[in-house]
Amino acid sequence: MAKVLESATFTLGNGKQAKIPIGQFINNEFVESASGKRMDVYNPATGKVIGQVSEADAEDVDLAVKAARAAYEKNNRQWGFMMHAQRGAMLNKLADIIEANQEELAAIEATDTGKLYRDAYSKDIAGVVATLRYFAGFADKITGKTYNVIPGLHAYSKYEPIGVCGQIIPWNFPAAMFSWKIGPALATGNAIVIKSAETTPLSALKMCEYIREAGFPPGIVNLITGRGPTAGQAIADHMDVDKIAFTGSGPIGRKIMETSAKTNLKRVTLELGGKSPNIIFDDAKSAKDAAEWAFFGIQMNMGQVCTAGSRILVQEGIAEEFTKEFVKLMEGVKVGDPFDDNTTQGPLNSSMHFDRVYGWVQTGCKEGAGTPVCGKDMREQLGGGYYISPTVFTNLKQDSQILSNEVFGPVVSIQTFKTEADAIAEANRTTYGLASAVFSSNHERLLRMNEAIRAGTVWNNVYNFAHFGVPFGGFKQSGIGRENSEAALYNYLETKSVISNMGYVRSPMANL
């Protein structure tokens, strides 16, 4: 039996200390990995190690999957088929516990990710609570249909949980994505093996402590803390995982689909990248209003958002005024400590990600015809954290790499267009189709644009508002399936049809 690990004390970015579990969460215990290896956890605001957690490999994934399978099958699949209202009650209790610990969990999230503490508290963790309560309400409301289409036969359909679900979440919104994944999966009666991102394991570990406290049966939720190429790949490879849900990059999403085809044809849902267009027409409410929304569209979470409005398309009549307003906002960004109330942009999440984003900034600044704001490396200036200032590109060439590649940082381009048709063509030019926005006071134009843009979300006169009650996902190479809302439930359900002879349909052998 694996060794149970005690929680460790982590010093958070606000100077307070928090006791956080560090082991693999399997069968409601935090245990040592089979290899005994550990991973360093860094504070992005300082670039320094603040502790270690257990590092999982394939053997640990196998143990977690076996625990999930045993829990799912126990007592004739009691969890999936008999405890509908109880499942909802447990999800609501989990939400209550998280809400009671919202301040500490938000501080853990801000320390681990580098996001602003005020956002972690009021948006991320508050959103976790609301998401869990939303899906708790569906637990006892998933019903089938009756079909009176064949005389003499009674036919009906019913929904059943898929079984053991592997889930892999990203580092940019670890707490929020944890709730987006487990909420619908648990409400529909599945068992889970979820892997946190290697750079941001802390909030998921803490929430697993709350899961045990909320009374979830052992093995229903299992958390793996490990690296993508080892632990993540092991989940995708496992022959007893029935479904996998992944949020992350396009190349890894492709690899997961390939692995599913080569193994047991796991059900696959993917939420991948984006290069989202934000289209500003000259009949927008005002250049200032559009600039403020565009600023939020790229600066939310330091641009580390798959829906980031990183391609601003502005109609020529308003372009000069809009650019002036937007550049002024970007130049006014205060980069610094995520726990400082005056800070408007914290650090990037990791050293590796900093190198990637700054590499794009340097490339773009060299090739850009106009760069009113070029991002600066602020690591040394701000004490070693992964800090970079914002970048605004203008007049980039059409074949510029910045216009087609996801940077995932506070880096944005501004392009101009003449006609509505030009805007549509440019908006749809990339291989992505996750999100988009249109700013206009012309209602008919908004309707036309909403139809023409190939993206899973089109915002009108607003940007970067996702809600647990509204479907979220991508067109084209931005993903498969939808998260949030009732739509997310069906990612975790199988439809079974039952056809019964009521005594009126004779055997096909009766006339022989």
Burial of 509 (0-12, 13-18, 19+ CB in 10 A): exposed
pLDDT (0 to 100) of residue 369: 61
For the cut 70, the answer to whether the pLDDT of residue 510 exceeds it is: no
Beta strand 457-460 pairing with 48-54: unpaired
Q: What is the mean pLDDT of residues 257-279?
A: 97
Band (pLDDT 50/70/90 cuts) for residue 75 is: low
Task: For the chain, give percent helix, strand, coil, nearest 5.
Answer: 40, 25, 35
For the cut 80, the answer to whether the pLDDT of residue 215 exceeds it is: yes
Token representation of residue 237: 């490879």
Other CB atoms within 10 A of residue 22 CB: 22
For the cut 80, the answer to whether the pLDDT of residue 97 exceeds it is: yes
Cβ atoms of 270 and 246 closer than 8 Å: yes
The verdict on whether 271 is a catalytic residue reads yes
pLDDT (0 to 100) of residue 2: 84
Q: Per DSSP, which regions of 84-174 are E strands?
A: 145-147, 153-161, 164-168
Cβ atoms of 390 and 330 closer than 8 Å: yes
Burial of 78 (0-12, 13-18, 19+ CB in 10 A): middle
pLDDT in tens, 14-51: 999 999 999 999 999 999 999 999 999 999 999 999 99
Report domain extents, the chain. Answer: 59-272+474-497, 277-460
User: Hey, is 462 helix, strand or coil?
Assistant: coil
Distance (Å, rounded) from C-alpha 318 to C-alpha 69?
59
Cβ atoms of 226 and 195 closer than 8 Å: yes
Rounded to 5 degrees, φ, ψ at 273 are -80, -175
Band (pLDDT 50/70/90 cuts) for residue 76 is: low
Distance (Å, rounded) from C-alpha 402 to C-alpha 395?
12
Q: What is the mean pLDDT of residues 59-76?
A: 92
Distance (Å, rounded) from C-alpha 407 to C-alpha 387?
15
User: Hey, is 168 helix, strand or coil?
Assistant: strand
Residue type (1 letter), 226: G
Q: Per DSSP, which regions of 292-419 are E strands?
A: 311-315, 370-373, 391-394, 411-417
Other CB atoms within 10 A of residue 19 CB: 12
Band (pLDDT 50/70/90 cuts) for residue 79 is: confident
Q: What is the mean pLDDT of residues 154-170?
A: 97
Band (pLDDT 50/70/90 cuts) for residue 143 is: very high
Distance (Å, rounded) from C-alpha 431 to C-alpha 454?
10
Range with the poorest average pLDDT among 67-76, 287-296, 298-307, 459-468: 67-76
Whether 277-460 and 59-272+474-497 are alike in CATH topology: the answer is no
Token representation of residue 168: 């892999």
Range with the poorest average pLDDT among 345-354, 438-447, 500-509: 500-509
Distance (Å, rounded) from C-alpha 122 to C-alpha 115?
12
* CATH match for 277-460 among 3.40.309.10, 3.30.420.40, 3.90.79.10, 3.20.20.220: 3.40.309.10
For the cut 70, the answer to whether the pLDDT of residue 238 exceeds it is: yes
Q: What is the mean pLDDT of residues 116-139?
A: 98
For the cut 70, the answer to whether the pLDDT of residue 501 exceeds it is: yes
Q: What is the mean pLDDT of residues 239-251?
A: 97
Residue 345 is given by DSSP the state B
Say which CATH architecture domain 59-272+474-497 belongs to.
Answer: 3-Layer(aba) Sandwich (3.40)
Q: What is the mean pLDDT of residues 421-434?
A: 98
Which contacts (CB < 8 Å, 24+ apart) does range 497-504 have? 497/155, 497/156, 497/157, 498/155, 498/156, 498/157, 498/158, 499/150, 499/153, 499/154, 499/155, 500/153, 500/154, 500/155, 501/152, 501/153, 502/152, 502/153, 502/154, 503/152, 504/151, 504/152, 504/153
Band (pLDDT 50/70/90 cuts) for residue 217 is: very high
Distance (Å, rounded) from C-alpha 468 to C-alpha 489?
12
Q: What is the mean pLDDT of residues 223-232?
A: 98
Q: At what angle do helices 84-100 and 102-113 cross, to 10 degrees?
A: 80
Distance (Å, rounded) from C-alpha 106 to C-alpha 149?
53
Element of type H or E holding 18:
strand 17-20
b/e code 455-478 from CB counts within 10 Å (16+ = b): bbbbbeeebbebebeebbbbbbbb
Residues facing residue 160 across a β-bridge = 494
Q: Looking at 55, 109, 271, 483, which residue is catalytic?
A: 271
Residue 472 is given by DSSP the state B
Distance (Å, rounded) from C-alpha 273 to C-alpha 248?
7
Distance (Å, rounded) from C-alpha 129 to C-alpha 122?
11
